[in-house]
Amino acid sequence: MWIDLFRAQVDAHPEKIAIVAEGQKVTYAELLRRAEARSQQASAGSLRHIIVLEEPLAVLEEVIGAWLRQRVPTLLHHGFPAAKLTYLQQVLRDAERGGRNGGRGPGEMDSAERPERREGLILTTSATTSMPKLVVLPHENIQMTAAVMGRHFALPGDTQGLIAAPIALFNAMVGGSLASLAQGWTLHLFRPNTPASVVLSHIRSHGVTLINTVTAFFRFFLRYWSGTPFPALRMLSAGGEALAWREIERLQAACPNGDVQINYGATEIGRVSNISTRDPRAREGAVGMPLAHHELHIEPIEGLPYGELLVRSPTAFLGYLQPDGSYSGLTEDGFFRTRDLFSIDAQGCLYFHGRVDGVVKVLGRMVNVREVSRVLGRLPGVADAACRAVPDALTGHALTAQVVAENGVQLDPRELRRACAAELERHEIPGDISVVDRISETELGKRANIAQ
């Protein structure tokens, strides 16, 4: 279990700094003591321990403390609107009653199952257009993710990692914080709303070597970066969404002595693949070779040269928690439908083509809004772009787009539409293009859904 990996790091170097956060430096031994104190203060009741906090160090202490008490930490994102938090809390209450009345209770399992497949951690989906779901991860997911990340990064014990994303996200909690602590690294934690000048100054002054976080942070990073490289950085690892190639090139310039990596994965299954942006295939939409423990299937979609990716894996979630205490979300044979479009080349490298719900019909013809976004993003003077589809009674869907101009550039939406005609058919060109300072995002820092 992950807690055993953490205890091993505490025993190996108890006085090493584990966490740097908001002026505090917390050693591995102190982090364990603080988690034990929170465990003792926790009230009795449900085996699922609900955590709704903003301060990332406090969240980590609560998570570790819950495991010490053999409870299941359940992270509800502090930034969710009240209606979403109320909904999730009601599902958890109903699920507790459902489990007691014959449904599957928290942490329970059939005798044939392995202990590592018990409930280990509950996170939420981002829920860009509806209420979020409760994603139940087994202990095996957390333990394997820590091992995979350690092998992938292959960084030394003095690694200084940075997390500046909502701690309730999979990448920030499991792939970032818990994986780093299992390796014995020092973790620098920031709240997502920390001023950019503070975060960038900290990265430079503390010699941060690894930034493993969501794509939204790297956009934030580039927005305020002065252009002076960070020589200590050894790896930037981005996940959650695709980055524009111009953004990737600027990240490479910021990290001249290291590597910029693109990752693909999901809260429900963990990391699936990764690729260095030094690999020329990355420019064509490749996300790398799948990790060995995943079994993949690409289900064809009529009319498209690519299909939906399905994944079966020991790191797969147990399911979405239902009000009756049961789980849902996997096919009968144990595959997870990612709702993402992929193709695979002869070498086994995966290529991402957008979301299934991002392929829409306009005037009876199929349009992939991600491809429209890529065309817009390559136009001269455009720093960033995102296309969206909204229902339209006449055409089926109407395309709209937001674009961000490069510094000092004045963009004319009419000229952009004319420029699109060189690569797009008439029905693929957005009817409305808005020039904005920043692409719209959800409360979790992701791009708002491209198809609604």
Average pLDDT value for residue range 49-67? 95
Indicate the angle between helix axes 56-68 and 28-41, nearest 10 degrees.
70
What is the spatial distance between Cα 366 and Cα 245, in angstroms, rounded to a whole number? 25
Q: Pairing between strand 48-51 and 72-75? A: parallel
What is the spatial distance between Cα 317 and Cα 145, in angstroms, rounded to a whole number? 12
Average pLDDT value for residue range 74-94? 91
Q: Which of 160-169, 254-263, 361-370 has the lowest mean pLDDT?
A: 361-370
What is the spatial distance between Cα 256 and Cα 45, in angstroms, rounded to a whole number? 51
Mean pLDDT of all residues in the chain? 89
- CA quadruple 57, 61, 63, 66: dihedral, nearest 10: -160
The per-residue pLDDT for range 196-224, each reduced to its tens digit, is: 889 999 999 999 999 988 887 888 899 89
The per-residue pLDDT for range 303-323, each reduced to its tens digit, is: 788 999 999 999 899 999 999
**pLDDT confidence of residue 44:** 66
Residues with Cβ within 8 Å of 15's Cβ and at least 6 positions away in sequence, in order, are: 27, 28, 29
Using a 10 angstrom Cβ sphere, with 0-12 exposed, 13-18 middle and 19 or more buried, the burial of residue 271 is buried
Task: Provide the pLDDT confidence category of residue 250 given band limits of 50, 70 and 90.
Answer: very high
**pLDDT confidence of residue 128:** 52
For the chain, the first-to-last Cα distance in angstroms comes to: 40
Question: Three-class SS string for the chain?
Answer: CHHHHHHHHHHHCCCCEEEEECCEEEEHHHHHHHHHHHHHHCCCCCCEEEECCCCHHHHHHHHHHHHHCCCEEEECCCCCCHHHHHHHHHHHHHHHHHHHCCCCCCCCCCCCCCHHHCEEEEEECCCCCCCCCEEEEEHHHHHHHHHHHHHHHCCCCCCEEEECCCCCCHHHHHHHHHHHHHHCCEEEECCCCCCHHHHHHHHHHCCCCEEEEEHHHHHHHHHHCCCCCCCCCCEEEEECCCCCHHHHHHHHHHCCCCEEEEEEEECCCEEEEEEECCCHHHHHCEEEEECCCCEEEEEECCCCCCEEEEEECCCCCCEEECCCCCEECCCCCCCEEEEEEEEECCCCCEEEEEEHHHEEEECCEEEEHHHHHHHHHCCCCEEEEEEEEEEECCCEEEEEEEEEECCCCCCCHHHHHHHHCCCCCHHHCCCEEEECCCCCECCCCCECCCEC
Domains and CATH numbers, the chain: 2-350 (3.40.50.12780), 363-435 (3.30.300.30)
Task: Provide the pLDDT confidence category of residue 77 given band limits of 50, 70 and 90.
Answer: confident
Q: Which of 68-77, 99-108, 225-234 has the lowest mean pLDDT?
A: 99-108
Q: Which of 212-221, 239-248, 358-367, 382-391 has the lowest mean pLDDT?
A: 239-248
What is the spatial distance between Cα 119 and Cα 429, in angstroms, rounded to a whole number? 47
Average pLDDT value for residue range 130-143? 92
**pLDDT confidence of residue 102:** 47
What is the spatial distance between Cα 144 and Cα 157, in angstroms, rounded to a whole number? 19
> Does the pLDDT at position 107 exceed 80?
no
Average pLDDT value for residue range 27-36? 98
Task: Check if the beta carbon of residue 284 is closer than 8 Å to that of residue 347.
Answer: no
Q: Among candidates 307, 315, 373, which has minimal Cα distance to 344?
A: 307
283 vs 448: which has the higher pLDDT:
283
Q: For tokens 């009817």, what's the residue?
A: 431
What is the pTM assigned to this prediction? Answer: 0.84
Share of the chain above pLDDT 90, in %: 63
**pLDDT confidence of residue 447:** 64
Tokens linked to 28: 């591995």
**pLDDT confidence of residue 239:** 80
Q: Which of 239-243, 411-415, 425-429 has the lowest mean pLDDT?
A: 239-243
**pLDDT confidence of residue 452:** 38
**pLDDT confidence of residue 115:** 78
At 167, give phi and psi (nearest 5°): -65, -15
Q: Which of 78-87, 397-406, 418-427 has the lowest mean pLDDT?
A: 78-87
> Does the pLDDT at position 110 exceed 50?
no
Using a 10 angstrom Cβ sphere, with 0-12 exposed, 13-18 middle and 19 or more buried, the burial of residue 100 is exposed
**pLDDT confidence of residue 361:** 83
**pLDDT confidence of residue 451:** 46
